Structure 1
Amino acid sequence: MKFPRLLSALGSAVIIALAAGPVHAQSWPTKPIRLLVGSPPGGPSDITARTFADQLGRRIGQPVVVENRPGAGNNLAAGAAARADADGTTLVLSPDTVLTVNPLVYTTGDFNAARDLVNISVIASFSQMLVCNPSAGVRSVSELVAKAKTSPMMYASGGPGVPGHLASEMLLEQTKVRMEHVPYRGPAPATQAVLAGEVACGFLATPTVLPHVKSGRLVALAVSSEAPSALAPDVPTLAKALNQPGLDVSFRLVLQAAKGTPAPIVAEIEKHAAEIMKQAEVRDRLKNYDLTAVGSSSAQAQQVMNAEMKRWEPVVKRLGLKTE
């Protein structure tokens, strides 16, 4: 009699265990969602986050509130998400550099994005535009390279290891020229520095600098992506400017949650992300800001991040990037 009773008890336990997974997904979310962004309002991450939050809120019947927490190369927002309850109610949207570069640059503290966050989906991709102050006297990448070989030049970025810094270093590596890096506290002051002529050039967000290109205050030399920008189709790609087909220095925005978030919840958010990023209105809105909607799976996001880590690690080590 004991053995059948044991089987019966085990059967009940199995049924309960099998039911536990779907319960997580069905009960998510039980309260409003926080979506953290590690940059100020108006940048690619913020625009994407607010577009995504609006659509997600409609689908789940809960408010999705975007919180901007700029600083430390997006680490402040990512770290806050990592320390939040692993229940899928605190998410973060970060550029991929938080995973691929920051763990090598920000070596102090107890946060490591690659270790402490789970990648839910690559939401979108974006590139950078190489612009120069007209006083630099260059109107093409070849002219910039020629001038940098004969006279000292400086370029701006929004900080060590951010996309603009990496795109610039990729250009310098490909052309074997040197320019001094001048990091600023974010892309906005870096843009102002180029506008003021404090530094000659910089790879910066296309939507931010394009109005200044159109007004003649800046000169556009190239975009870092392999495909031309929809906002500036006449500006050559870096691959074309350097005659290196296949060269693609684009970046991604990754939706993440705290490590330990139950798999059914991750799968539920991943499903929403894929469906939201397929919507024509979402794709068109992001396209207006030089962003390409993606909406990958969690597994695909991890695969892409692993490849990008391998790509940028030698660059970071060559530059000796370290900060606290």
Structure 2
Amino acid sequence: MTAITRRGLLAASLLPTIAQAQPQQAGPLRLIVGFAPGGTADVVARLAAAEMGRTLGRTVVVENRSGASGNLATLALLQQPADGTTMAMAGLQLVTNPGLIGQLGYDPRTDLEMVGQLTALPVVVMASARSGITTMAEAIARAGAGDGIRIATAGLGTSSYLGAELMFRALGGRFEAVQYRGGAPAFQALMTGDVEMMFDLVAAYQAPAAAEGRIRMLGVMQAARTPGLPDVPSFGELGLPPAAMMRSWQGICVRASTPPVVVAALHAATRVAVQAPEFQQRMANLAIEATASPDPAAFQKFYMAELQRWTGLIHDAGIRAQ
């Protein structure tokens, strides 16, 4: 059975469900993205929205509400009815913002409901070629000696900072976080040798820099290798503990108390989106892993575990957004 046929059969089964759960709603659905157009979250959202719309027989309109590390988008979602007609992109910011933002404006444990995961974004550890560091073992040793190691970051609440905090708390060592205005200037500082290391989401521009000998990729912070960097060892292969591992992620969420029948229908549409050939190919081009959740409950459980993990780490490390 082809993917198109499967989508058609699923759409036929879901349309009555959507109609019964939302009898007064016939217009487009909305998907709010907490970041600017053109970024990774926006690209994923627009691809998912197109695929979900075809499955559900309803246009899914993407709306960008950038600001406050994605928190403005979450607040915008929570101002809408809990009927599933408005969704938001979920991601790592949902589990880090509660620890970083003093006045969050909502309860992350009770006000949101996860629908379905879309992606997993591996985090790669890199060293400047000028640092002389060639392996993770050498990086860990360098961090444990003298004044520690200099790390390029795109800000305290980003994966480029939190990855370093997580790893060195788990393995020991000290680091100095040098903050830059975004990932691009931070990566430039790594290439020029102004800093020794950087933790970053896997991206297409990293492999060419490694091929040119300007950086070295030391490891991917997860149990298994990622298809986006097949020659880079995983933390699991290197024998590093799960406490030192992390992945960013993206998915769909709605307001809590959205009818379960609607959540189930939206979740099924996310699974079709993740399996769509175009979505799979575009994610592969971006070195992102297309990843579906088995059901909404599993994604909710994952979200709660991530929330506990990151709020705990941020609190213990005394990190506050600036």
> Residue in 1 aligned with 2:111?
116
The correspondence for 1:304, drawn from 286, 302, 305, is 302
- Name the stretch that deviates more: 126-135 or 143-152: 143-152
3-state SS in 2 of match to 1:127: strand
The correspondence for 1:190, drawn from 178, 186, 191, is 186
CA distance in 2, matches of 1:81, 1:184: 30
Read off the aligned partner of 1:145 and give its amino acid letter.
Answer: I
- Name the stretch that deviates more: 173-182 or 240-249: 240-249
8 Å contact kept, 1:29–1:62? no
CA distance in 1, matches of 2:321, 2:245: 27
Query: Structure 2: which 5+ runs fail to align?
Result: 1-15
3-state SS in 2 of match to 1:240: coil
CA distance in 2, matches of 1:230, 1:28: 44
> Residue in 2 aligned with 1:102?
97
TM-score (norm 1): 0.81
Q: Paired residues, what number?
A: 304
Identity among equivalent positions (%) equals 29
Q: Which of these two proteins has the greater Rg computed from alpha carbons? A: 1
3-state SS in 1 of match to 2:233: coil
Deviations 1:8-36 (A, max 9, x none): xxxxxxxxxxxx98644364862223322
Q: How big is the shift at 1:184?
A: 4.1
Q: How big is the shift at 1:136?
A: 2.0
The correspondence for 1:137, drawn from 117, 132, 143, is 132
Task: Give the direction of change, closer, same or farther, for the CA distance of 1:118–1:245 in structure 2 (3 Å limit).
Answer: closer
8 Å contact kept, 2:140–2:171? yes
8 Å contact kept, 1:57–1:63? yes
RMSD: 2.8
Deviations 1:240-296 (A, max 9, x none): 335447964223213112234333322221121122223344334323323222322
More helix by share: 1
Q: How big is the shift at 1:124?
A: 1.8
1:138-153 maps to which residues of 2 (within 5 A)?
138-148=133-143, 149-153=145-149
Q: How big is the shift at 1:204?
A: 0.9
Task: Give the direction of change, closer, same or farther, for the CA distance of 1:76–1:183 in structure 2 (3 Å limit).
Answer: farther
Tell me whether 1:173 sits opposite 2:169 in the alignment.
yes
Tell me whether 1:272 sits opposite 2:251 in the alignment.
no
> Residue in 2 aligned with 1:4?
none
CA distance in 1, matches of 2:206, 2:66: 20
CA distance in 2, matches of 1:219, 1:136: 10
